[in-house]
Amino acid sequence: MSSSETSHEQVVFRDWLRRGQLTGCAFAAHFAASEEGLLFYELFDSAVDPAAVADFLDEAGQSGRVGVLLGVNLRGDDETASFLGALSSHPRWEISADPQLARDGREVGVRSTWTTSEGLRTDAMGFAPSAFMPVSRRAPYLALAAWTGGHANAQLERPKHGEVGMGDAPPPRDVDYEKSMDLTHRWSKRVREPSEIGHKLLRRLSFRLDKAAVERSFPTLLGGL
């Protein structure tokens, strides 16, 4: 549920994001440090209300903040798969398995694409305390974050037609954009595993899940594979 009160889990997640050398992203650190950068919706089990989540994501975009679905009690890939299955029932979500996002046959790479109130497509970015996830996404809690506003970053030279992403969010005030870009390039190389997929593909990735868990808890996701 969405709440104006700041929970312990939100504080911990923000603190983790602020350590840009762990996530490989200086901009994520800036957003986490800004009180106006993130808007949270807490999930206590995998049986989410897709309509309520849709309202929250619209609210986040209209307020100019990155929307974060924070799974404070979601544990393991079975519950993550069930959560994604629940989201997929909403017509503005497209949850798909993308073979390019998996490293081997034991895992399923998931892409979670949301259509904003303006009709723009945006890929949501997932986080989880799981060895299946990229090192830069191994957060203390499961989370799914998305920028659901418009092309609001004046520093972005060539925004994509019909699409938005995290790079379209307006940087917090007083942020040195060029310095933050340089730090992001350096930090992301440092945390990147040699076997990891390319950074352009990583932008599409929401979660990598144990294939056996997907077969149990969201089997229809595998229909296209």
pLDDT for 131 beyond 60: yes
Which residues is 127 bridged to in the sheet? 143
**Rounded alpha-carbon distances, angstroms, from residue 189 to 13, 25, 186:** 22, 10, 5
Separation of alpha carbons 176 and 75, rounded Å: 37
Check if the beta carbon of residue 204 is closer than 8 Å to that of residue 111: yes
Burial class of residue 5, CB neighbours in 10 A (0-12, 13-18, 19+): exposed
Does 126 or 170 have the greater pLDDT score?
126
The DSSP symbol for 175 reads -
Nearest-5° angle of CA 138, CA 140, CA 142? 75
> For a pLDDT cut of 70, what percent of the chain falls above it?
97
Tens digit of pLDDT for each residue in 33-51?
Answer: 888 899 999 999 888 999 9
The DSSP symbol for 196 reads S
Does 208 or 175 have the greater pLDDT score?
208
Check if the beta carbon of residue 106 is closer than 8 Å to that of residue 129: no
User: How confident is the model over 22-40, as a mean pLDDT?
Assistant: 88
Check if the beta carbon of residue 65 is closer than 8 Å to that of residue 58: no
> For a pLDDT cut of 90, what percent of the chain falls above it?
65
pLDDT for 137 beyond 80: yes
pLDDT for 89 beyond 90: yes
Distance of CA 2 to the CA centre of its chain: 17
Mean pLDDT score of the chain, rounded to an integer? 91
pLDDT at 206: 98
